[in-house]
Amino acid sequence: MMNKQEAIFKYLVRLGDCALIHGHRLSEWCSRGPILEEDLALTNMALDNIGRAQAFLKYAAEVQGNGLSEDDLAYKRDERAFYNNLLTELPIGDFAFTIAKQLLLSVFENIQMQALCKSADATIAGIAAKSHKEVRYHLTHARDWTMRLGKGTLESNTRLQQAFNQLWMYTGELFEMYEEDAILNKQGIAIDLNELKTPYYNTITSILNDSNIKMPVADYMQTGSRKGIHTEYLGHILSEMQYLQRAYPDAKW
Amino acid sequence: MESVIVSSDFQSKIDQDANIEPKDSMPDAYREHLIRQISQHAHSEVIGMQPEGNWITRAPSLRAKQILLAKIQDEGGHGLYLYSAAETLGISRDEMIRQLHSGKAKYSNIFNYPALTWADIGAIGWLVDGAAIVNQVSLQRTSYGPYARAMVRICKEESFHQRQGYEIMTKMMNGTEAQKQMAQDAMNRWWWPSLMMFGPHDSDSPHSGNAFTWKIKRKSNDELRQKFIDKTVQQAEVIGLTIPDPELRWNETKQMYDHGEINWEEFKRVINGNGPCNRQRMEHHMHVHAEGAWVREAAEAYAKQQH
Amino acid sequence: MDTQLDLWEVFIQGKSGGNYTHAGSVHAADSNMALQNARDIYTRRNEGSSIWVIPSKYVVASNPEDADMLFDPANEKIYRHPTFYVMPEGAKQI
């Protein structure tokens, strides 16, 4: 059975890892945007995410209290100790795939961060307040592009529809609660993810309807990240991200 | 007759140090010179995102990753400011990109070299951006208004780039033996290409005659190169890096450094397409451009429906 | 046909209450995209509190050849400036 400190640590790492891995994927767009302006927009969002990861992981390291830093947590943890949602680690795909991913994540994060602003833990509430502003912008950006691609051309509509169909099975996990949620919800530190489900799917439905995208059908929802069980993609992200820290363990950068 | 009047009027404006603005009359050769120079400058910023972008996902700390991302983002922004400046001369960005892909427009040779280790990110920021800044500071007073204004903004934003690179080098030179070796190795590979960035010697520089008369260029290639060497050697010494030039020494009479000869054979070879990364850089740019076409088409189609 | 989208001019207000000054241009297909692109490109360092974007095709510029006709006549009208007037000795400025 987890104690409270372990529960907070795991919860913070979950929030931090989501931002870290999502930011990592967005940063892969650098020099690859469909137009130079969009290149800058995507890397701006990558920066927001990495900044958020830094804040949550720093606090996680403090809570753990054994002298590690946010960098130690990001760069020296193994794959099975990462708790980001599977949705964040999927490859960037084409621009439609990234936009669909951005929409599915930013609609969630928008209500998640808003709810976390009321967390009984002041540090979490503070990071959430800052993140909420950023995420509102990510959502606007994703919603506008969903409309453009959904209604633009037959090709863009087809690509976007396929992207939503493929990504849909990863949305269920966003609401999955685990041991740490049970402990922290009682104390008002964490939030009840079940309550976010209806507003989430309502918002998505309305945006997809407005964009000529059919609602995907869920036969099955893939989960696993709460237990540190990921897709095969995460290992490759980490071997790239952690390479220098692992190859030169004595070095400071 | 008309064109003679235009150009004497134009030249007297230049001689009085007035800026030329987009609607002012200007000789065709001035316009063409600017389009060539500004678009090359813009393409360099954009192609320059590739070697540095190669290390974003491998940056060794969250701080380093954020700084590098912000820096590369600036390069993209600077490319954009410069494309806009060139567009005021009547050339579209589409056309500039076509010219880049056809090989008519060039970009800075330096980006045809590979970024192999993390120390290369330090060397690029410190040496490559350091060299670029020396050039850009002098361009803030260039005669074409939109170009000068873009340079002012760019110089303001770039001031952190060179420091970022120097900070990486400093950290590595204060680090483990492996880090020191990595830093010196990057120094050895980037020093000479950085000196080449200023272009051929003044005596061999094909375009500079008009560029000076029209005050597009304010300082000569050799003057700028010397300025860069003089300020960089001291910074290298402070952190214990060796400049890979056995002929480099302080000249007490001239109050500047003497240096060895640049390998102009290599310079020409790389410019003509046979550098380590020429093909890779162009293929990447063309691939991304082609891959983005359906997105741009969709955005335009959507915009049309809104009217 | 593939293009680099339309050109827009960007005006940024640095602080609330201040003037909007021309910052530069962006390419965008529609007004939302133009605003977002302007935000991402011209306010990365806290430069802005508000943004205007205007399609470049609607900007009309004066003709340089008309500069003397347009602007020189104002040189003579020195009575438009407070320094033109003499204040009696001892009177306080408002």
Taking the model in full, what pTM does it have? Answer: 0.94
**Could you tell me which CATH class the domain C6-84 is placed in?**
alpha beta
Is B103 in contact with B271 (CB distance < 8 Å)? no
Specify the CATH number for the domain of residue A121. 1.20.1260.10
Residue A253 lies in a domain: no
With CA atoms as reference, the chain C residue closest to B70 would be: C44
Which residue from B88, B78, B113 is spatially nearest to B24, judged by alpha carbons? B88
Residue C10 Cα, gap to closest chain A Cα (Å): 13
Q: How far is residue B180's CA from residue B122's CA, in Å, rounded to a whole number?
A: 12
Q: Do C32 and A144 touch (CB under 8 A)?
A: yes
Any C CB within 8 A of A140 CB: yes
Residue A85 Cα, gap to closest chain B Cα (Å): 19
Is B178 in contact with B251 (CB distance < 8 Å)? no
Residue B89: how many other CB atoms lie within 10 Å: 18
Q: How far is residue A62's CA from residue A64's CA, in Å, rounded to a whole number?
A: 5
pLDDT in tens, A171-230: 999 999 999 999 999 999 999 999 999 999 999 999 999 999 999 998 899 999 999 999
Give the count of domains, chain A: 1
Residue A73 lies in a domain: yes
Residue A218 lies in a domain: no
Instruction: Give me the pLDDT at residue B2, please.
Output: 45
Q: How far is residue B82's CA from residue B95's CA, in Å, rounded to a whole number?
A: 14
Instruction: Write out chain C's pLDDT in tens, 94 residues.
Output: 789 999 999 999 999 999 999 999 999 999 999 999 999 999 999 889 999 999 999 999 999 888 889 998 988 888 888 889 998 888 887 7
pLDDT above 90: percentage of residues in chain B: 91
3-state secondary structure at position A240: helix
Residue C79 Cα, gap to closest chain B Cα (Å): 29
Q: Do B24 and C64 touch (CB under 8 A)?
A: yes
Structural domain range at position A122: 4-172+180-212+223-247
Count contacts between B and C (CB, < 8 Å): 51
Q: Which of B72, B121, B295 to mutate to test the interface with A (most CBs of A within 10 A)?
A: B295
Which residue from B142, B161, B160 is spatially nearest to B152, judged by alpha carbons? B142
Put simply, the chain A residues between 63 and 82 with a CB less than 8 A from any chain B CB are 70-71, 74-75
Kindly list the partner chains of chain C, i.e. chains with 3 or more CB atom pairs below 8 Å: A, B
Check whether B205 has a pLDDT greater than 80: no
DSSP letter for each residue of B4-36: HHHHHHHHHHHHTTPPB-TTS---HHHHHHHHH
Low-confidence ranges of chain A (pLDDT < 70): none
CA B85 to chain CA centroid, nearest Å: 16
Any C CB within 8 A of A35 CB: yes
Kindly list the partner chains of chain B, i.e. chains with 3 or more CB atom pairs below 8 Å: A, C
Domain-wise residue ranges, chain C: 6-84
